Amino acid sequence: MRNCSASGDDWTCDRSSDRYRLTKGLCPAHYSQFNRGRPLARITRHRSTPGGYLPCAFDGCDRAVSARGLCKGHYDQWSAGRPLAPLRKKRDSASYQAMLRHGVVECLGCGESKPVSEYSLLNRGGAPRPYCKPCHAERVRLALYGVTRDFLDLLLRHQRGSCAICGVSEQETGRSLHIDHDHACCPGRGCCGACVRGLVCSNCNTYGLAWYEALPPELRTFDLLNGYLANPPAKQLRAGAPAQGG
């Protein structure tokens, strides 16, 4: 076991390799300081928290603060302009290898233990991804549109569980609602997250909005779509407006 090599005139970091991964002999917080060209400084302590370290300000995260009140993982999300989201859970290599030997792996997303065949491959070595196929697809979708699962759940509840335009529900169509965003802000499939407008069914997204927004402004006379485009559900949600139909 080795301790972090960071020290000062009146302090020495006592973080050890049995709890923290050391890089260049430094714990994650001090390596972050070193990597940014900052002088190594004492990590903030807090008497009321286990281990004496001030925890990350993100709700439910118990990792030590690295910068701006956030742990390194959440600070990286913030600095990249992404919505703060729970970090990937950690599991030790021994338990993971044991699961592989039995051919059943616990998904870090849904928490279910599933056969290895239910996971796509992470690399050429054949190692399965830490998330099952549905959970991995959902993570890719959320990252593509710059939103969190909590935000989409709130948005769907705001829309009374149905398409923001025609009112059809996911249960009726048997398919998930599409995430609609303003293509004037972010052309293409993905977006920054700030221009997400609402959740709509496949028909409204493909044959309604795509066709309607391609029309010249003088031909856009459909009040239902004009109302959606002028004040979409996501804008209402961010403004604290009551749920649709409420």
Q: What percent of the chain has pLDDT over 70?
A: 91
Segment 120-169, tens digit of pLDDT: 988 777 788 889 999 999 999 999 999 988 899 999 999 999 999 999 99
Return the closest-CA partner of residue 78 out of 61, 91, 53, 94. Answer: 61
Q: For residue 210, how far is the Cα from the chain centroid?
A: 27
The CATH number corresponding to 93-141 among 2.60.40, 3.40.50, 3.40.210, 3.30.60 equals 3.30.60
How many CB atoms within 10 Å of residue 48? 7
In angstroms, what CA-CA distances link 167 with 44, 123, 174, 236? Answer: 51, 42, 14, 17
pLDDT of residue 156: 95
Write down the CATH number for the domain with range 146-238.
3.40.1800
Domain with CATH 3.40.1800 in the chain: 146-238
Q: What percent of the chain has pLDDT over 90?
A: 39
> Helix 149-158 crosses helix 133-145 at what angle (to 10 degrees)?
80
Question: Which amino acid does the sequence have at 75?
Answer: Y
Q: Where in the chain is the domain with CATH 3.30.60?
A: 93-141
Q: Which of 22-36, 83-97, 98-112, 222-236 has the highest mean pLDDT?
A: 222-236
- Tens of pLDDT, residue by residue over 5-58, are 888 888 888 877 666 778 888 888 888 888 888 888 877 654 444 445 677 888
By mean pLDDT, which of 22-36, 48-62, 71-85, 105-119 is the weakest? 48-62
